[in-house]
Structure 1
Amino acid sequence: MIDKQLRVVLAEDSVILRDGMVELLTARGCAVVATAGTASELIAAVTGHRPDVAVVDIRMPPTHTDEGIRAAVEIRATLPEVGILVFSQHVETAWAARLLADGASGIGYLLKERVARTSEFVDALHRVAAGGTALDPEIVNGLLHGGRRSRVDALTPREREVLELMAQGHSNRSIATLLVVSERAVEKHVAAVFGKFDLPATEADNRRVKAVLAYLAESGAS
């Protein structure tokens, strides 16, 4: 069975970089349905095309400060079914926390200089489009250490490591591989995080997402 082609809107004000990314994504089987050089063009393109995911740079014309991520927050509020992957050379912790405030599902934030292979970027796109999360460790670290962290401070160093990897979208099995421990050990750490974050088991709740959101919300507080 052939996988559904991923539909992408790409927002990048650098024409050379934008054209290069279109070529790379097309070569990887993605369909770039529209490109944008400004935040207003991005919002119009996403509204018109309803892509699976929008790739957004933070700093766009006219002021080159935070127009892109402001647009991403607006898209998140009005079209939550569209995945958002912030792809920038800038770490904007406050805006990242705001973008994640209503849920980590379908959100990514990667730093340009830390993506070593095109395959990593495309994998992150697919993960975000499918409702997953893709956060660069530097973004997670900035969120984790950016504000009041009463419950986060209660975590052991290993529990914090596990939580950071959860926030990056890793499964328990993937975390076990990265930390070179058993999957059962990861399960115990995850359970400890749930306990310290006061997240009891219910049939309806996704405690994994709630745990990530809990510490992102705390670290984003002023």
Structure 2
Amino acid sequence: MLIIDDHVLFAESIELSLTMEGYDVRRVPAASTTPAQVLAAVSRYQPRVVLLDLDLGPLGDGVRLINPIARNGANVVVLTASTDRSRWGDCIRQGARKAIPKTQPLNEILSVVRKICQGLPVMDAAEREELIGLWSEHRKAEQDIRDRLDRLTPREREVLGQLVAGHQVREIARSSVVSEATVRTQVKAILAKLEVSSQLAAVGLARQVGWSPPSEQGAL
């Protein structure tokens, strides 16, 4: 069994509990490991179960590790502080057997491990379909936002990028050598195309999908 988690205290608690139940448990120090080293450890130890966190600090997003680990023959159980069920759906879609919030009682986590080791199911078809459906809806919503962002002109993207960076209309006007009225007109056009009513909402949409202006536009 392999534990991949950057929260040392949590990982040690799980390791101790599983060891007391007779499992051979190893931990991968996520904070000082690369994705390639994680996959090499999976290949070397050939664990039946991998307990994987999603937010792995310097190692990044654990979701991208699920598919290669599962293809290596391991049963991936996601243990996460995230309560985003659409994200859980992405985990299941990638090949995880189960996604469990870290707020669940320890006995419930251990129960899932036992069932997998006994060859028993840990998720029914209805729950699986619900989670993947939530992921699909989330993906469509994000694509809709990206489509709206694609409507912006190069200048509007530049202005939005500066708003995302925290700059005010006055600063944007001064750096662009245009009037504040001109920038406000550009901001109004941005809000209309993004179908929002405030600069804050526009910035929120951009951040939600990880949008950033083209690099050649430069910074303020």
Larger radius of gyration: 2
More helix by share: 2
TM-score (norm 2): 0.50
- Structure of greater relative contact order (alpha carbons < 8 Å, 6+ residues apart): 1
TM-score (norm 1): 0.49
